[in-house]
Chain A
Amino acid sequence: MSEPRLDLVGLRAGYGRQVVLEDISLRIEAGEWFVLLGPNGCGKSTLLDCVVGRLQPAAGEVRISGHSLAGDSSNAKRQLGYGCAPESLPGLLTARQCLEVHAGAKGLSAVATELLELAEDLRFLPYLDSFVDTLSLGTRQKLSVLLCLLGDPKLIVLDEAFNGLDPASALVVKRHLRTRLEQQGAALLLATHALDIVEHHADRTGLLFDGRLRHEWSKAEIRSLRQRGLGLDEALVAALAGQSEASSR
């Protein structure tokens, strides 16, 4: 059996004395689309920061395709694709230069045709020689997704990647991600508030609350909820209410 694409064991992380994540354990297998849900400020982005090495966890381990992020950082990062927040892209570089720098950092000899086709489908190519600072939010988001997908990563990590994307572009990205998961055996960890993605695309969904992964829904469970006429938003609110009560007791 192959190694999971992402294996988090007993992860604890925070900022200074403030603990944000406590005892997070999670496995994401090849071909799996995992969606991370949770209220604002619950630690979704902190968890992603730990997964991509932007934040050093206080305890626990992060393994990407069998490589420890702490012990074998270089090989672990080679398997990783991370879509950073659009506002953290360097404004004084052109989109072309951002792609070249990322490709250079990943040690690629050329940018895959598949990625250029995605850029064309997203109608991104006209902006290739524009400064990032002059791009709109949606166009920057497209660039962030393209940077993430450079070098065929085995673990794709996206934080609110569909914010600001027009519906047509969002659909293109979702289809492309699904193809990657199925054909290349990649796995996707997506933090989002968009419940339509959970309903139509996610294979597994986790609810992060109070720094812990409190609940998980499989694809079958989501389908069953819909068949019973229950909306996912209602199930989410009910789960959050249950967790609030449990934590206040």
Chain B
Amino acid sequence: MSGGIANLRMGIPGGQGLIRFTRHTLERTPKLRTAWLISANRWRVRSRADVLYAVAVATTWLLAAAGMLLAHATFASLLGRLARHPVLLGFAAGFMAASLTARRRALLKSEAPRSWLAAVPVTPLVARAEYLAVTTAPVVGAAAAVTLLFVTAATVQLLVHGAMAPVTAAYGALMAGLALGTLVSYLMPLARHEVLPPGSRYVPKSAARRARPLEPSLAPLGIWAVRDVFASARPDAVARATIPILVLMPLGTFADAAMLVLAIAAVSAATLMFIGAAFTVYTRSKTWLLPLPVRGAALARYVVLRPLAAAGFAAVTLAWLLWVFHTYAGKP
């Protein structure tokens, strides 16, 4: 065996104790190993975006800690109020945990047949453990973030007031909510996965006119951006986005106010999506048409005009809705 090939033998390099255990675990769990390798590669490359992300997280944490320390009286009263409503806090955390887990389970189910690891043989026990680890990962991440925040809050409370009872109560309620929400999510059956290829009823497409001759024009590039928006705004995503507002309704929100909030949220999202799609499609079409003699300005005119017109219409609607909401809110 040549030296070059010998160096390529399988395995994660050495280590003892916990590292050794982690290594053995990863060697038997292909999905976790893949995730580990991806994060290790990212760490090795340390792209600018990753560094910026880490800096942003650290800055947010520092700002939060500074805010807690500077406005400790307000913060203590906020914590006190949170601690007085453990059920509401637990319910909100549970709802979030349930939707995060359900989303991950649905994603895993839809991607399983296409996964590059689909044909890799694993024992049922490993498969179950991997499934559990992958589906609970978002909730574990959220729990870690909450813990970090509450440890900071507890430290501040202990330093300033010498007590941390409200922090512990609120933290306990949140953690219980996260755990219960995850459990409930596993008990509920998954919705049937529906594959919606482009051309389905959710992406607008004019009826085929077979007799129509081909008309050279860059105009269809504008349709591309509009379709991009419709293709990403799937009904299930829209329905999921409206759930929090509907859940808040029994807590004192009236139906008309909720409908207004829904409309404002929908139109704001549509405006942002149209603007985003215009820029995304411009970049993609520029790459696609690079070998052709077409100027960037001409391309921008065709690509950006139609989605920006749609975004403009959405912005006018949004302004009208905000005016209605303002008038409504002003009434007793």
Residues of A whose CB lies within 8 Å of any CB of B are 52-54, 73-75, 77-78, 80, 82, 84, 88-94, 96-111, 116, 128-131, 133-134, 157
Knowing A77-B293, A131-B197, A133-B197 touch, does A101 contact B214 (C-beta < 8 A)?
A: no
The answer to whether the Cβ of B69 comes within 8 Å of any Cβ in the partner chain is no
Residues of B whose CB lies within 8 Å of any CB of A are 197-199, 203, 205, 208, 210, 213-221, 223-224, 227-228, 231, 284-285, 287-294
Q: Which of A53, A97, A105 has the most CB of B within 10 A?
A: A105
**Cross-chain contact of B231 among A75, A92, A106, A111 (Cβ < 8 A):** A92
B216 and A110 contacting across the interface, CB-CB below 8 Å = yes
Q: Which 8 residue pairs across A and B have the least CB separation, nearest first?
A: A103-B216, A97-B220, A129-B208, A52-B291, A77-B293, A105-B294, A82-B291, A105-B292
B205 and A94 contacting across the interface, CB-CB below 8 Å = yes
B205 and A77 contacting across the interface, CB-CB below 8 Å = no
A100 CB to nearest B CB, Å: 5
Knowing A77-B291, A90-B284 touch, does A134 contact B199 (C-beta < 8 A)?
A: yes
Residues on B with C-beta less than 8 A from A110 are: 213-214, 216
Look across to chain A and name the residue whose beta carbon is closest to the beta carbon of B292: A105
Residues on B with C-beta less than 8 A from A91 are: 198
A52 and B290 contacting across the interface, CB-CB below 8 Å = yes
Look across to chain A and name the residue whose beta carbon is closest to the beta carbon of B215: A100
B147 CB to nearest A CB, Å: 40
A92 and B197 contacting across the interface, CB-CB below 8 Å = no
**Cross-chain contact of A105 among B215, B284, B293 (Cβ < 8 A):** B293
Residues on B with C-beta less than 8 A from A134 are: 197-199
Q: How far is the CA of A83 from the CA of B293 in the complex (A)?
A: 15
Q: How far is the CA of A128 from the CA of B223 in the complex (A)?
A: 16
A109 CB to nearest B CB, Å: 7
Residues on B with C-beta less than 8 A from A88 are: 287-288
**Cross-chain contact of A104 among B210, B217, B288 (Cβ < 8 A):** B217
Residues on B with C-beta less than 8 A from A98 are: 220
| Cross-chain pairs A/B with CB under 8 angstroms, 25 sampled | A54-B290, A73-B293, A75-B293, A80-B291, A90-B224, A92-B231, A93-B220, A93-B224, A93-B227, A94-B220, A96-B214, A97-B220, A101-B221, A102-B289, A104-B217, A106-B292, A110-B213, A111-B213, A111-B216, A116-B214, A128-B210, A131-B203, A131-B205, A133-B198, A134-B197
Q: How far is the CA of A98 from the CA of B218 in the complex (A)?
A: 9
Q: Given A98-B220, A103-B216, output 16 extra A-B contacts at Cβ < 8 Å.
A: A54-B287, A77-B291, A80-B291, A88-B287, A90-B284, A90-B288, A92-B227, A93-B227, A96-B214, A97-B220, A97-B223, A102-B292, A105-B292, A106-B293, A111-B216, A131-B197
B6 CB to nearest A CB, Å: 19
A109 and B220 contacting across the interface, CB-CB below 8 Å = no
Q: How far is the CA of A82 from the CA of B292 in the complex (A)?
A: 9
Q: How far is the CA of A92 from the CA of B213 in the complex (A)?
A: 20
Look across to chain B and name the residue whose beta carbon is closest to the beta carbon of A76: B293
**Cross-chain contact of B217 among A84, A93, A100 (Cβ < 8 A):** A100
Residues on B with C-beta less than 8 A from A75 are: 293
B31 CB to nearest A CB, Å: 25
Q: How far is the CA of A105 from the CA of B289 in the complex (A)?
A: 8
Residues on B with C-beta less than 8 A from A107 are: 216, 293
B206 CB to nearest A CB, Å: 9
Q: How far is the CA of A89 from the CA of B284 in the complex (A)?
A: 10
Residues on A with C-beta less than 8 A from B221 are: 101
B291 and A100 contacting across the interface, CB-CB below 8 Å = no
B199 and A108 contacting across the interface, CB-CB below 8 Å = no
A130 and B293 contacting across the interface, CB-CB below 8 Å = no
**Cross-chain contact of B214 among A53, A90, A100, A131 (Cβ < 8 A):** A100
Q: How far is the CA of A98 from the CA of B289 in the complex (A)?
A: 11
B223 CB to nearest A CB, Å: 7
B4 CB to nearest A CB, Å: 13
Residues on A with C-beta less than 8 A from B287 are: 54, 88
Residues on B with C-beta less than 8 A from A53 are: 290-291
Q: How far is the CA of A93 from the CA of B210 in the complex (A)?
A: 16
Knowing A93-B223, A100-B217, A101-B217 touch, does A131 contact B198 (C-beta < 8 A)?
A: yes
Look across to chain A and name the residue whose beta carbon is closest to the beta carbon of B217: A104
Residues on B with C-beta less than 8 A from A94 are: 205, 220
Residues on B with C-beta less than 8 A from A97 are: 220, 223-224
Q: How far is the CA of A82 from the CA of B288 in the complex (A)?
A: 11
Residues on A with C-beta less than 8 A from B289 are: 101-102, 105
Q: How far is the CA of A210 from the CA of B132 in the complex (A)?
A: 47
Q: How far is the CA of A4 from the CA of B224 in the complex (A)?
A: 38
Residues on B with C-beta less than 8 A from A102 are: 289, 292
Look across to chain B and name the residue whose beta carbon is closest to the beta carbon of A89: B288
